[in-house]
Structure 1
Amino acid sequence: MNTIFAERFKSARLLSGLSLQDVVDKLNNKITRQAIYRYEKGEVIPDSEMIAEFSKIFNVRPDFFFNPMTVEIGKVEYRKLKIPAKEETRIQEQTKDYLSRYLEIEEILGIKNNFVNPLEDYPAVSGYANVNHAANSLRKEWKLGNNAMPNIAELLEDKHIKVLKIKADGNFDGLQTYANGNIPVIAYNETQMDNKKDRLRFTLLHELGHLLLDFNESLTHKQIETLCHQFAGAMLLPEAAIKQELGEHRKQLSMNELGNIKKQYGISMQAIVMRANVCKIVNNNYTRQFFKMMDDNNWRVDEPFEYHGHEESGRFDQLIYRAVVEELISMSKAAALKNMTLAAFKANTKMI
């Protein structure tokens, strides 16, 4: 029990992004840094009063400290690299905590993780032609045709890829890894993307490229990132679809037609123009002019036109409610899996 508490106590502290001294300060020096250090080493367990205090500081339920962590995550690859070590640790702890609760409800319901990489036998990628072909192969395997994909987060969950929302600072877009050796995971920064659905869709598919594709060893990190960008663009807007929308060759494009394609396919106007460029619909000179115009109008971050599609998976919540209705777990256990108080969970739950 001491070992479990020690691991979970440290995890809760890291989740909250607090140092040992931060905890001391929040408790108004009721305890020392040495005492907290002893908790994290498993030398002693605090009394129930102190556990309640820690629960408030770390924003977790008291039973969090006594539920063993069942998740080990592999090497983590980030969409953006400049993340402080403290923030990186907090992101990874959030990922492990969310996954441990997710996998627990699946175990309760007897759901197995049957992920198979549909591109496992695909040759090592070295250029655009490879990723374009891989995207077409994946769309064919998943029976997507050339149509717009309405909800990518839900699609990935249906394919046994866990999609997690993480709260992080502005330097983090997304990450991908494998949990327990065989469970693919993509996490994204909800702080950055909840109001930018086209950006979220691109990030999810960029990370999918990292998960599914094997890259030639001679490629640099920057080259691999570019290829994952191109994979995401090819998944969102296949070559056949963009040529149907824009034609084979164009000297220039109108903002309105780009906006309409954005609203239909859920892909940013900038990504559309990059797709048009790699598909040889527009030339490099036009592409440079377009991005200069975007810079001049301060549209690189906040583009004109909005994509308003739904972009979220409710699978985790659905599994919890299913377990409650089938009386496999109590309401209290459901609240714990949601990391909510029982009162808050009941207030947000409508039962027939």
Structure 2
Amino acid sequence: MLGARIKQGRVAAGLSLRELAQGVGVSAMAISKYERDQIKPSSEALLRLGSALGVRTEYFFRQPVIELTGVNFRKHAKLSPQDEAQALDDVREQLERWLELEAVIPSSWPKAFLLPKGLPAHVHAYEEIEAIADRMRAAWHLGTGPIANLIDRLEEGGIKVILTPHDGGKKFDGMVAIANGNTVIVVGESWPGDRQRFTLAHELGHLVLRGRLAEGLDEERACHRFASALLVPRQEAVRLLGASRSWVEPRELYMLKHEWGLSMNGWLYRALHLGILTKAAAKRHWEFFAQQGEGGTTWREQEPGKPYAKEYPLRFTQLVYRALAEEMIGESKAAELLGLTLVDLRLRRRMEAFDAPGCH
């Protein structure tokens, strides 16, 4: 059991046997034997393993109970098996801490994800997805305006959002899965906010549309349509752009991106889907975007100006501090769940230390 935890931690950290051995000060053969439970690391070696892997020693004794099912892992063909394993192990480790927390808090604190009532059993055309996205907004009381923080809304709706730094050089495009009865969506930690938001909405689309699409409808295309419709309802897109356009100014697209959290390219696709732009007009925009940019990077690859701000999950950290405040867990367990030292936890409790938004 200890060996399996060491290997899981190593894979999640993206380290080879040799690299971990150098960090611990032992041979690669010793690490291999640790992982196969042929020998046990000393207490000192276990501390060095924790330091090298960026985990507390309690991690090695946690029971791995995460079973991922219904996995929809969107990825580029170039994503290596090692990168995929690293991302999945990181997701499992983060979910383990969620389940540890849920084992000691009231069952009413975490919420279960439920689909809205009244969704159509069958979807026969992509245009019908507009009404489904509107139904999702209505069920979550989102109105028709911009969604200020999509991660927060998904978590409030019972979905566990995991941010992973392991995206294989941005070759990983997102994941949705069920883990021990929990609905989970995974996106990249380093992505700009508009990419995070579109991916989150796309993966939500898989949950909403699965089993409803008529034969001949492509699920990925359908989820793209759902994502853009969820982020920008039809009536708002028409109100802001007009019913018909031959050209949309880049500055106009940039302003809309920062108001609604949908990329400039996403807005062009939205206008195309709604008939605001013809195919020929949309093509002119993309040809123009392909000619703009700096350093060999076009606007199709990296949009101009300031990126849309990233979003961060907050619910797990908030619940840890609530459980600590209500004496359901002690400081040591809270520090372990948050991946902090006791000193760092106490500094945060006294409001003497702060991290980036969304961190502990």
Q: Same fold (TM over 0.5)?
A: yes
Counting only pairs closer than 5 Å after superposition, residues 56-67 of structure 1 correspond to structure 2 as: 56-67=51-62
Name 2:87's counterpart in structure 1.
91
* Deviation of the 1:327 alpha carbon: 1.8
CA shift in 2, pair 1:349/1:295, >3 Å: farther
Structure 1 residues 92 and 334: alpha-carbon distance in aligned structure 2, compared to 1, 3 A threshold: same
Q: Compute the TM-score of the two structures, normalised by the length of structure 2.
A: 0.87
Partner residue, 1:345? 345
Deviation at 1:271, TM superposition (A): 0.7
Alignment of 1:1-352 (within 5 A): 3=1, 5-27=2-24, 30-33=26-29, 35-82=30-77, 83-111=79-107, 112-118=110-116, 122-125=120-123, 127-168=125-166, 169-170=168-169, 171-180=171-180, 182-191=181-190, 193=191, 196-215=192-211, 216=213, 218-219=215-216, 223-297=218-292, 298-306=298-306, 308=308, 311-350=311-350
CA distance in structure 1 between the partners assigned to 2:198 and 2:117 by the alignment: 19
* Structure 1 residue 155: Cα displacement: 0.1
**Count of matched residue positions in the alignment of Structure 1 and Structure 2:** 341
C-alpha separation between the residues in 2 aligned to 1:219 and 1:244?
32
Contact persistence 1:39–1:45 (CA under 8 A): yes
**Contact kept? 1:119, 1:134, Cα under 8 Å:** no
**Counterpart code for 2:185:** I
2:295 corresponds to which residue?
none
Q: Displacement, 1:22?
A: 3.4
1:105 is displaced (CA, Å) by 1.6
1:102 partner letter: W
**Aligned-pair CA distance for 1:335:** 1.0
- The residue type paired with residue 13 of structure 2 is S
RCO higher in structure (CA 8 A, sep ≥6): 1
Task: Note the C-alpha offset of 1:124.
Answer: 4.3
SS of 1:304's partner is: coil
Q: Is the 8 A contact 1:167 1:189 kept in 2?
A: yes
- Structure 2 unaligned spans of 5+: 293-297, 353-360
1:328 and 1:351, CA in 2 relative to 1: closer, same or farther beyond 3 A?
A: farther
Q: What is the CA deviation profile of residues 261-320 of structure 1, one whole-angstrom value per residue up to 9, with x for unaligned ones? A: 222211111111111111011100010010111111021233235465673231111111
Contact 1:184–1:211 at 8 Å: present in 2 too? no
Q: Distance in 2 between matches of 1:322 and 1:137?
A: 33
Work out the CA distance in 1 between the residues paired with 2:276 and 2:28: 65
Task: Give the aligned residue type for 2:193.
Answer: K
C-alpha distance in structure 2 between counterparts of 1:257 and 1:268, whole Å: 12
- Residues 19-49 of structure 1 deviation map (CA, whole Å, 9 limit, x = unaligned): 3343344445x3452x434433334422101
